[in-house]
Amino acid sequence: MSEIAYWGKKVVEAGLCTSFFGNISYRVQDSIFITKTGVMLDEINEKDIIEVSLTKKNSSDKLASSELIVHRMIYEKTIYTNVIHTHSLYSTFMDVFQDYVTFNYSEVLPFLKLVPIVGGKSGSFELAENVAGALNENPIVIVMGHGVFAAGKNFKECFVYLTALEHYAKDKYYRELIKNG
C-alpha cells in the first residue's frame, strides 16, 4: 500500500494531475486495492486505500474511487495488474488533434507506438468497456475531455507511459501553437 502512496506523490510532482484528480489501483488475485474517492494523491496513507472484490460488488464499493468500474473492467479483460488514471492536461488536449495518437518522436518511441482516444462518461459502464477494450492492444488510452488511463505489470511501467505521453503531448501542443501563431 505504501507503493500507491509513493506513485501518487510522483504523479502529482510530475504535473500529471493535481492532487485531487486521479486514482491508482493494483490487483492481487481476486482483490483490487484502490484509492478512495476524494483522496489527495500526494498525501495518501493506509486509510485512503480500500480493498474491493474484483468481481463482486458490495457496500464498500461506494468508498472507492468513482472510476472503480473502469479499474474492475481493466483487470477483468486485460493482463495488467496495475493502473494509474490521471487528468494529464496536455495529453487530454490530444483529442482535439486526432482520433488516436501515433508517434514519430524518437524520445517516446521505445515506450509508445499508438494511443487510442475513446469516449464515455466518467464512472460509466460505457467508459469501462471502451478503456478496457483499448488497453487490450495498448498500455495507455486517452479519454476524450477526461484524462488518461495507463496500465502495466507495475506502477513504474504505468508512470513511464504517462510521462512519455504527456511529454509528447506538451511538445505537440506548443509546436501547434507556434505554427498557428
The count of structural domains within the chain is 1
> Which position has the grid cell 498500455?
139
As a whole number of angstroms, the distance between CA 57 and CA 120 comes to 21
| CATH code for the domain of 173 | 3.40.225.10
Which of 15, 149, 4 shows the shortest CA–CA distance to 73?
149
Going through the chain in order, the beta strands assigned E by DSSP cover 22-28, 31-35, 49-53, 82-86, 100-102, 114-118, 140-143, 147-152
Which of 99, 82, 80, 81 shows the shortest CA–CA distance to 144?
99
pTM: 0.93
**Residue 146, domain extent:** 2-179
As a whole number of angstroms, the distance between CA 157 and CA 105 comes to 19
As a whole number of angstroms, the distance between CA 54 and CA 112 comes to 28
Provide the pLDDT for residue 28.
97
Tens digits of residue pLDDT in 22-37: 999 999 999 999 999 9
Tens digits of residue pLDDT in 28-75: 999 999 999 999 999 999 999 999 999 999 898 999 999 999 999 999
Average pLDDT over residues 90-111: 67
Residue 1 class from Cβ within 10 Å (0-12 exposed, 13-18 middle, 19+ buried)? middle
